[in-house]
Structure 1
Amino acid sequence: MPKATLEQWRMFKAVVDAGGFNQASTLVHKSQSSVHHAVNKLEEALGVALFDNDGRRIKLTEEGKLLLSRATWLLEEAKKLESVAHGLQHGVESQLRIAVDLIFPANILHKVLDTVSSKYPYLRIELIESVLSGANALLNSGQVDLAICPFPHPDGFTEELCGINFVAVASPGHVLIQQGKALTTKDLKTHRQIVIRDSSAERKTDSGWLGAEQRWTVSHISTSVEMIKSGFGFAWLPEKLIEKHLSEGSLVKLPLKQGSHRHASLYLCFEDGEQLGPAAREFIGTLRYELMQLQDTQKQTLDA
């Protein structure tokens, strides 16, 4: 059994944080004698002195400095444990399963997940990255609680989240770029197109212009990017995801006469809102907020 109690560690940290016993008593709403007693009992239990008193102010001993970091961690873990217990009492789910299409902005997603995890530290999040109808298929089969996908959900809830712009790109050395002329879809037909495979089991959905006579199909956008940079073909890719490659010049937009940009919408989908727990609702609320912030920033940039 531990010789020291959690309350004694709390009193010890309060003295450090407040800068003295008298100030600590105000901080923890206890008498100064109670704080003194708790710290003295802690020192007796541990067999080490935690503070030096030079008459004017208290100062941590070397042992006290070492134990303070451990005590801070211990108190934080106790706080998290209580948060979990509170969540279980109020029906917080233990796991949140989310399917997200690969074209959704990763920086927004990661920020939202971090916010949700901070509020629900013991929530297990399972993130499944999908392509085209993959997220919808996972939602339909009950394998995920929420889906961010390119297609509306016909039976449950659907909310349009954002739009994604696609551009046709190739490497600077590709023959389509080297021709030095404005291109038509007829020009593209005789060149290899790199496309992303639908991640649903049926693989029944294609997206974008697919008129090329040659086609390589891959499972991930990063694979497509590497192939295109190496000159193996062209592809329609989300403009935001390849900004760095475009600015570096390793990818170049195809000079199409018409339709140089394509647009796709992404939707938030789920089956039944009444069955969603607090963590899922927190995810949805934070997601909406972050996307609204992004839209405001983009608008300010355009207006400047």
Structure 2
Amino acid sequence: MPAQISLEALKVLDAIDRHGSFAAAAEALYRVPSAITYTVQRLEEEHDIKVFEKQGRRMVLTPVGRMLLQHGRQILEATESLAEMAQRMAHGWEAQLTIAINGIFPIELIFPLLRRFQKVQPDIHLALRYETLAGTWDCLHEGRADLVIGAPGLPPQGRSYDTLPLPLMPEGAFCYVAAPDHPVCALEQPVKRDVLRRFTSVVIPDSSKRLPALTYGLVESQSRLFVPDMDAKLKAHLAGLGIGYLPRFRAAPYLASGELREIAVELVRTDHSHYIAWHSSNRGRALQWFVEALREHNPYAELLAESLR
């Protein structure tokens, strides 16, 4: 098995290339020039390669040396990043924070908070994901997210959670829609449940993996078109592929333009309260930063409050 290439050797190659000579690299690394020469010679001898060759009065990298330097710099950057990550974690900052958002809400509402956070901790990884219905609680319960926004109803049993309530959704916050050329639009309204069974419903399935799934606004034995997220659901309605509920704040521009029609139906949609939630035991500083920021300025609460007016 060939000897491993040391980080020290990679640092020497990097310094020689950056500073232009063995002597300048020695000065930058606070070494004597002979130590730099010895490190290069040992690297070449241990691996039976030629890293530098003489061109006139200069020593230049060979193709093998250039390859070592290119990949070696990636390794050096990774080790520096690892050390910084360990230091951040030692001071209470997470390496990554994952935020799950209920798919009824626009994900871009949180972008201003992300920009503020990046100015505080630009090296912490942030991950956003959409979840649907009980999937919001499920991903928090199972550890797939650190913070959830818009979790419906009460938290599941077995864990301790802290929450911030969002404003209650008003009556009429959701509207039942179809494309204007969809056959349901020609029927007498309100459309009865039995009649709705004839038409495909566009559905975002509950994303929960372990907790009991929730369903809203569906009729038994109704055919369903399953789509991955709210944007796809909206587009499916616009394309006339099915009928179903949309949040009114998402449907409003298309109702105004006539691209969608609101349909009166004999269905009762009962919606839960919604919460921002996180594990009580999680004391990560990135999580706490976002909790405090959402207490101070909560764009999702503002969106719901606007719908109450």
Query: TM tier, shorter chain?
Result: 0.5 to 0.7
| TM alignment of 1:128-207, pairs within 5 A | 128-148=129-149, 149-154=151-156, 155-157=159-161, 158-164=163-169, 165-179=173-187, 181-202=189-210, 204-207=212-215
Structure 1 gap segments, 5+ residues each: 4-82
Q: Is the contact between residue 166 and residue 301 of structure 2 (CA under 8 Å) also seen in structure 1?
A: no
Give the AA of the match of 2:286. A
Q: Does 1:284 align with 2:252?
A: no
TM-score (norm 1): 0.61
Q: Is the contact between residue 156 and residue 269 of structure 1 (CA under 8 Å) also seen in structure 2?
A: no
Q: Distance in 1 between matches of 2:286 and 2:121?
A: 7
| TM alignment of 1:255-266, pairs within 5 A | 255-256=264-265, 259=268, 263-266=271-274
Residues 141 and 257 from structure 1, CA distance in 2 versus in 1: closer, same or farther, beyond 3 angstroms?
Answer: closer
Q: Distance in 2 between matches of 1:160 and 1:298?
A: 12
Q: Distance in 1 between matches of 2:223 and 2:143?
A: 36
SS of 2:166's partner is strand
Residues 161 and 116 from structure 1, CA distance in 2 versus in 1: closer, same or farther, beyond 3 angstroms?
Answer: farther
In the TM superposition, what is the alpha-carbon distance from 1:125 to its structure 2 partner? 0.5
In the TM superposition, what is the alpha-carbon distance from 1:93 to its structure 2 partner? 2.0
TM-score (norm 2): 0.60
Structure 2 gap segments, 5+ residues each: 1-14, 20-83
Give the AA of the match of 2:183. V
SS of 1:210's partner is coil
Equivalent residue, structure 2, for 1:231: 240
Equivalent residue, structure 2, for 1:119: 120
CA deviation map 1:56-100 (0-9, x unaligned): xxxxxxxxxxxxxxxxxxxxxxxxxxx999956742222112222
Q: Does 1:252 align with 2:261?
A: yes
Q: Distance in 1 between matches of 2:233 and 2:258?
A: 16
Q: Distance in 1 between matches of 2:226 and 2:117?
A: 35
Residues 299 and 95 from structure 1, CA distance in 2 versus in 1: closer, same or farther, beyond 3 angstroms?
Answer: closer
Give the AA of the match of 1:229. L
Q: Is the contact between residue 153 and residue 272 of structure 2 (CA under 8 Å) also seen in structure 1?
A: no
Equivalent residue, structure 2, for 1:267: 275
Identical pairs, percent: 24
* Cα root mean square deviation, aligned: 3.3
Q: Is the contact between residue 160 and residue 280 of structure 2 (CA under 8 Å) also seen in structure 1?
A: yes
Q: Is the contact between residue 138 and residue 211 of structure 2 (CA under 8 Å) also seen in structure 1?
A: no
Q: Distance in 2 between matches of 1:142 and 1:189?
A: 38
In the TM superposition, what is the alpha-carbon distance from 1:234 to its structure 2 partner? 0.4
Q: Distance in 2 between matches of 1:166 and 1:262?
A: 10
Q: Distance in 1 between matches of 2:300 and 2:212?
A: 35
SS of 2:185's partner is helix
Q: Distance in 2 between matches of 1:219 and 1:173?
A: 24
Q: 1:219 aligns with which of 212, 221, 228?
A: 228
- The worse-fitting range, judged by mean Cα deviation, of 102-111 and 198-207 is 198-207
SS of 2:100's partner is strand
Residues 111 and 180 from structure 1, CA distance in 2 versus in 1: closer, same or farther, beyond 3 angstroms?
Answer: farther
Equivalent residue, structure 1, for 2:3: none
CA deviation map 1:124-171 (0-9, x unaligned): 111121112222222222222122222432322233224453211111
Give the AA of the match of 2:107. A
Count residues with an aligned counterpart: 221
SS of 2:176's partner is strand
Q: Is the contact between residue 99 and residue 148 of structure 2 (CA under 8 Å) also seen in structure 1?
A: yes
Q: Distance in 1 between matches of 2:289 and 2:87?
A: 16
Give the AA of the match of 2:164. E
- The worse-fitting range, judged by mean Cα deviation, of 113-122 and 249-258 is 249-258
Q: Distance in 2 between matches of 1:95 and 1:123?
A: 6
| TM alignment of 1:2-151, pairs within 5 A | 90-148=91-149, 149-151=151-153
Q: Distance in 1 between matches of 2:300 and 2:236?
A: 34
